[in-house]
Structure 1
Amino acid sequence: MPLDPGTQSLLDLIAAAGYPPMHEGTPTTARQAMRSMTVDLVTDETRIPVGEVTDIDAGGVPARFYRPEGDGPWPTLVWIHGGGWVIGDLDTYDQTCRRFCRDGEMAVLSVDYRLAPEAPFPAAVEDSMTAVRWALEHRAELGGSDLVAVGGDSAGGNLSAIAAQELRDQLAAQVLIYPSTDMAGDYPSRAENAEGYFLDLATMVWFSGHYLSGGERLDLADPRLSPIASDVAGVAPAVVVTAEYDPLRDEGEAYADKLAAAGVKVDRTRYDGLVHGFLDMGAMSPAADAALGDIIALTKALLDRLA
C-alpha cells in the first residue's frame, strides 16, 4: 500500500531540515539527533503517567523500572531498546516503556546496555543477558508475577531474540519489533527499501561497522549476531512485528517463519504503509500510534494467556 501520509509528512520534514544523513556523522551527533526527535518533544502534559518510575541497578547494568498504577502482581517485560547498537538510551525510550506499562498493565524494566563503538560487540549482548537474568532472579520484587518476557525494537529485537534463545526455559514470551535477525543474509527488502524510508542501507552499514569494530574477526553467522542462525526449538512464544517499508522487513518475517516451523507459537504482523522506527512516530502518524497500541494489546493478550 502507499506510504502512510503521516509518515510521509515526517520524512518530508526531516528532508527539509537539511541535516546530513546519519551515516555521514558521528555517533555523538546521531545520539543527539535521536534525542531531539524523542526526549526533546516530550512535555509534562504529554508524558504518559504510570504508577512509579525508578532508576535502578540490574546486576551492574543501569536500568529504569516502571510500575503500573494499582496493585499487582503484574508480568514483567524486560525492554531492550533499538538504535543500531550505537544510539538510544533510557530517556529516548521512556515514553514507549511508559505506554507498555500503562496500557499493557505490566511492569517494565528498561535496559541501558553499553553502546558501540565505545563498547562494541559483544558488550550489548553481555549487558542485556545480565539484566534479563537479574530480572528473572528478582521477578518477585518487579512485577511480582512468575511471568518475565523480553522485548525490543530493531537492535533491541536482535538482543531480545538472543536472550530468548539463551534463556528458553525461563522466559515466558518475546516481543520482536522490526528486529535485525540475520547479519549474514541478503533479502529483497534491503534493496527495495534501501533509500528514502528513514532507515537506509548506508546507515545499516554504518551501525554494523561500529558494532563490529572490536578488532577481532567475527563470523556474521554467530547466533549472538544473527539469531536466525540458531536452533529455535523450545524458545518462548513470540510477537513478531515488521513494517512494509523497512530494509529489515524480510529477515524479521524469515525469523517468524523459522519460529513457526520449529513449533513456536508466533503472532506475526506486518504494518503496511509504515517504516522502520515507527514506534517513535505516533505524534505525526496516527497509523504509527495505532500500531503501537496494537502491539501492546498483542503483548498483553499473550501474557494474559500464559498467566
Structure 2
Amino acid sequence: MIDRLRSLPGFHPDLRWIALLAPRRTVTPRSLPVLRTLTRAIRGKDPDVYVLEPGVAVRWFRPSTARGDEPGPALLWIHGGGYVFGRAAQDDALCRRFAEELGITVASVEYRLAPEHSYPVPVEDCSRIYEWLTRRPDVDASRIAIGGASAGGGLAAALAFRARDREIPPPVFQLLVYPMLDDRTGAGPRHTRLWDERSNRFGWESYLGAADRSEAVPARRDDLGDLPPAWIGVGSHDLFFAENREYADRLASAGVPCGFHIVEGAFHGFDLVASRKRVAQGFFDEQCAVLADALGVRRSRGDLGEC
C-alpha cells in the first residue's frame, strides 16, 4: 500500500490517500440510478425552502447577523452532479458557511435534471430563481453573485449569458468552481479522479439532447464581452483544467476581469471528499476572499466547522 501511495504522480500531499482509493469516474448510465438514490437520502441542514414549482425550489440561508428584512448582498449557488444527478441539499453545509463567513444570504437552487429535463430546462430553472431573488425586498439586487461547482459552475456561466442577453439585472460576479464548460473536452490529465472522459461525455449528451451547442455550451459561445467579472478555481489533476484555463483566458481577452486559481495536485471535487484537509480549507478561503471583495462585505473569520 505504501509503495502504491508513493507511486501516485503529483497528487497534493493532503490528497494522496484519498486519490489512492477514489474511482476515476462516478457516473455512467448504469450507476446513475444508484447515485440518484443516494443523493435523495441526503437530509441537509433544514433551512427554509421555497418551492416555485415541482422540481424547482430554493434552499434559503440567512446569516445570524441578518437584521430583519433589511436588503443585503446574496449568493445564488448551484449544485453540481454532471447535469444528471445531485440535489441542493448536498451543499447545505457549504452554503451555511458562506452565509456566516460573509454575512450574506445564500439561495441554493434545486433545478430539474437531465436527461429527463435537457437544455434549456435547467438553465431556465436557475434563471427563474435568479429573477425571483432580484425581486425580494430582503436582497440588494445590485449585489448578487452567482456561483456553483462542476455542472453548477457551468450553469452559473450559462446564467451569466442569460442575464446579459435578456437584459435581466446582471449579477456582479461569477464564482465558478471547477466548472463544466465544454462538451468537446476529451482526455484530460492522465490521473484524474471522480470525473473522467466517459462520465463527461454521458453528462453532456444527457444535458444537451438536440440543443444548439453553440448556444447551450458556455465554452462554445463566441461573444464573452459584457459578462460579470469572474473567478475560476480548479485543480491541476482535474479533467476540466485545460478548458477552465482557456475560458479564463477568453474572458480576459474579452475585457472581463477573471481570476484563475490553480490547486496543484488536486482532482475534481477534492474539496467535497476532503473538506477537513488544509488544501480544501484554503480553497474555500480563496472563494470567500473574492466574494467578499465583489460584494463589498467584511468576513467574520469565525470558526465555521467543516463542509
1:146 aligns with 2:142: yes
How far residue 176 of structure 1 moved from its aligned partner, in angstroms, is: 0.8
Q: Following superposition of structure 1 onto structure 2, how do residues 105-120 of structure 1 map, counting pairs within 5 Å?
A: 105-120=103-118
1:2 aligns with 2:10: yes
8 Å contact from structure 1 (residues 56, 65) kept in 2: yes
1:68 aligns with 2:73: no
How far residue 20 of structure 1 moved from its aligned partner, in angstroms, is: 8.9
**What SS does the corresponding residue of 2:108 show, helix, strand or coil?**
strand
CA distance in 1, matches of 2:270, 2:259: 19
Alignment correspondent of 1:220 = 213
**What SS does the corresponding residue of 2:213 show, helix, strand or coil?**
coil
CA distance in 2, matches of 1:173, 1:258: 16
1:257 aligns with 2:245: no
Distance 1:34 1:194, change over 3 A: farther
CA distance in 2, matches of 1:34, 1:272: 29
1:301 aligns with 2:289: no
Q: C-alpha deviations, 1:220-240, integer Å up to 9, x for none?
A: 322x22344141211111111
8 Å contact from structure 1 (residues 172, 236) kept in 2: yes
CA distance in 1, matches of 2:150, 2:274: 17
8 Å contact from structure 2 (residues 134, 141) kept in 1: no
Alignment correspondent of 1:191 = 187
Amino acid paired to 1:179: P
TM-score by length of 1: 0.82
Sequence identity percentage: 28
Q: C-alpha deviations, 1:29-74, integer Å up to 9, x for none?
A: 12345578xx48x8xxxx7xxxx93101357731101001113543
8 Å contact from structure 2 (residues 191, 237) kept in 1: no
Number of residue pairs the alignment of both structures matches = 282
Distance 1:35 1:269, change over 3 A: farther
1:291 aligns with 2:283: yes
How far residue 135 of structure 1 moved from its aligned partner, in angstroms, is: 1.1
1:180 aligns with 2:180: yes
CA distance in 2, matches of 1:110, 1:2: 34
Amino acid paired to 1:180: M
Alignment correspondent of 2:260 = 268
Q: Note the residue ranges of structure 1 that are not aligned, 5 or more in a row.
A: none
Q: C-alpha deviations, 1:73-114, integer Å up to 9, x for none?
A: 431111111111111112111111111111122110000000
**What SS does the corresponding residue of 2:193 show, helix, strand or coil?**
coil
CA distance in 1, matches of 2:257, 2:33: 40
How far residue 247 of structure 1 moved from its aligned partner, in angstroms, is: 1.0
Which range is displaced more, 281-290 or 251-260?
281-290
How far residue 262 of structure 1 moved from its aligned partner, in angstroms, is: 1.3
Distance 1:59 1:232, change over 3 A: farther
Amino acid paired to 2:109: V
What is the RMSD of the two structures over their aligned residues, measured on CA atoms?
2.8
Alignment correspondent of 1:164 = 160
CA distance in 1, matches of 2:135, 2:248: 28
Q: C-alpha deviations, 1:119-144, integer Å up to 9, x for none?
A: 12221111111111111122x23x34
CA distance in 1, matches of 2:259, 2:13: 27
CA distance in 1, matches of 2:40, 2:196: 19
How far residue 260 of structure 1 moved from its aligned partner, in angstroms, is: 0.8
Moved over 6 A (4+): none
How far residue 13 of structure 1 moved from its aligned partner, in angstroms, is: 3.4
Distance 1:235 1:198, change over 3 A: same
Distance 1:279 1:144, change over 3 A: same
8 Å contact from structure 1 (residues 281, 289) kept in 2: no
Q: Following superposition of structure 1 onto structure 2, how do residues 199-218 of structure 1 map, counting pairs within 5 Å?
A: 199-213=195-209, 216=210, 218=211
CA distance in 1, matches of 2:125, 2:26: 29
Alignment correspondent of 2:303 = none
8 Å contact from structure 2 (residues 134, 140) kept in 1: no
Amino acid paired to 1:27: L
Amino acid paired to 1:8: R
Alignment correspondent of 2:30 = 25
Amino acid paired to 2:95: C
Distance 1:164 1:13, change over 3 A: same
CA distance in 1, matches of 2:243, 2:259: 16
Distance 1:282 1:104, change over 3 A: farther
How far residue 170 of structure 1 moved from its aligned partner, in angstroms, is: 2.0
1:282 aligns with 2:274: yes
8 Å contact from structure 1 (residues 77, 106) kept in 2: yes
CA distance in 2, matches of 1:20, 1:170: 35
TM-score by length of 2: 0.82
Alignment correspondent of 2:305 = none
Amino acid paired to 2:287: I
8 Å contact from structure 1 (residues 162, 227) kept in 2: no
CA distance in 2, matches of 1:280, 1:34: 14
